[in-house]
Amino acid sequence: MIVLLPPSETKAAGGAGERLTTARLGFPGLAVARSRALAALDRLVAAGQDVSTPAKARAAADNAAVRTSPTMPAIERYTGVLYDALAAASLAPSARRWVDAHVVIQSALLGFVRASDPIPSYKVSEHTRLPGERMRALWSQAGAEISGFAIDLRSKAYASLAPVAGAVPVEIVSPEGKALNHWNKAGKGALVRSLAEAGVEADSADALVRWAASADVPLTRTDEGLRLVVQDPRFASVV
Q: Assess if residue 236 is contained within a domain.
A: no
Neighbouring C-beta atoms of residue 83, cutoff 10 Å? 26
Cα–Cα dist 119/108, whole Å: 12
DSSP 71-119: BEEHHHHB-SHHHHHH-GGGS-HHHHHHHHHHEEEEETTTEEEETT-EE
Task: List the chain pLDDT tens, one digit each, 239 residues.
Answer: 999 999 999 999 999 999 999 999 999 999 999 999 999 999 999 999 999 999 999 999 999 999 999 999 999 999 999 999 999 999 999 999 999 999 999 999 999 999 999 999 999 999 999 999 999 999 999 999 999 999 999 999 999 999 999 999 999 998 887 777 768 899 999 999 999 999 999 999 999 999 999 999 999 999 999 999 986 544 444 44
Does residue 225 belong to any structural domain of this protein?
A: yes
Number of residues assigned to the chain: 239
Residue 238 lies in a domain: no
Assigned domain for 56 exists: yes
Task: Select from 107, 89, 77, 83 the least CA-distant residue to 11.
Answer: 77
Q: Which domain holds residue 78?
A: 2-229
Is 237 contained in some domain?
no
Instruction: Tell me if 235 is assigned to some domain.
Output: no
- Looking at the 3D structure of the chain, how many domains does it have? 1
Instruction: Identify any residues that bridge with 221 across adjacent strands, giving them in sequence order.
Output: 226
Where helices occur in 176-232 by DSSP H, the ranges are 182-198, 205-214
